[in-house]
Structure 1
């Protein structure tokens, strides 16, 4: 069950990242793209991270910070960041606190088995901490471009 709602303020949260402990309030006055992905270094997640990486300057120009979230460890995140030269923060959410807040944990089919995992989703939070757009169950191709177009239209 999601605790976030379009048009409403997102509850403050605190999480561990490759840049130490961070909170939603750290980004007041900036737009925040919070994207949830299943696993570091898998094909779709790597492509998505590379797409954000390749457009990071355009997001920064629009006063927007990008943060990725998965259940991977900080060590896994650091390896992923180094290998892909990612210029943005990754949050480690092994207890699924942030995943539950945003309602991204779903039952998925993996090789014919039901497994619980992160549904690829992106959330756009404005300068006042209000959720202004969400994309759930998305496909990677073209997604990052759509997010950037949405931000530019605000």
Structure 2
């Protein structure tokens, strides 16, 4: 995926016992944020930042989906625990992660492991990718996304 590409035609299981087809979400801006793992400190803070600013996203009619390789069951627990008002997509087979090239080799306790690089993608109302953030640092990130939405 690169700037100017349309929402992919991929369907993934999501919280709330849903199946979400990304290409069917055209008509309003959409934030797709990839995070490494449910219920870890950075991922929790990022989710809470999106949650705490949810009204600002709602004011611009922007959809938010969080994506990781965790199962729907894990996502349900994570979403409930932190009261996230948006759905989490389970990409257990890395279909979406591979398309967005967010799987990277990381160093974890001296070993190389494959994991999700924290990344966010913003699509406009027509379903076209307009902004991307890679190697995201959580602090201040949600505000940067909101500022980009104002420019759409």
Aligned residue pair count: 151
Match of 1:153?
151
**Which of 49, 61, 66 is equivalent to 2:59?**
61
| Matched residue, 2:9 | 12
Please say if residues 8 and 23 of structure 2, whose CA atoms lie closer than 8 Å, have aligned partners that are also in contact.
Answer: no
Q: Aligned pair 1:25/2:23, yes or no?
A: yes
2:86 to 85, 88, 92: 88
Between the aligned partners of 2:8 and 2:65, the Cα distance in structure 1 is 17
Q: How do residues 109-128 of structure 1 correspond to structure 2 at under 5 angstroms?
A: 109-128=107-126
TM-score (norm 2): 0.96
Tell me: CA distance 1:25–1:10, structure 2 relative to 1, closer, same or farther (3 Å). Answer: closer
Helix, strand or coil at the partner of 2:106: strand
CA RMSD of aligned residues (A): 0.9
Match of 2:128 among 126, 130, 139: 130
Secondary structure in structure 1 of the residue aligned to 2:45: helix
Q: 1:143 aligns with which of 136, 141, 144?
A: 141
Please say if residues 42 and 138 of structure 2, whose CA atoms lie closer than 8 Å, have aligned partners that are also in contact: yes
Q: Tell me whether 86-95 or 8-17 shows the greater mean CA deviation.
A: 8-17
Unpaired runs of 5+ in structure 1?
none
Q: Secondary structure at the match of 2:75?
A: helix
Segments of structure 2 that go 5 or more residues without pairing to the other structure are none
Aligned equivalents of 1:14, 1:61: Cα separation in 2: 26
How far apart, CA to CA, are the structure 2 residues paired with 1:126 and 1:54?
Answer: 22
- How far has the Cα of 1:10 moved from its partner? 3.0
Matches of 2:5 and 2:25 in 1, distance apart? 16
Contact in 1 for aligned 2:7/2:23 (Cα 8 Å): no
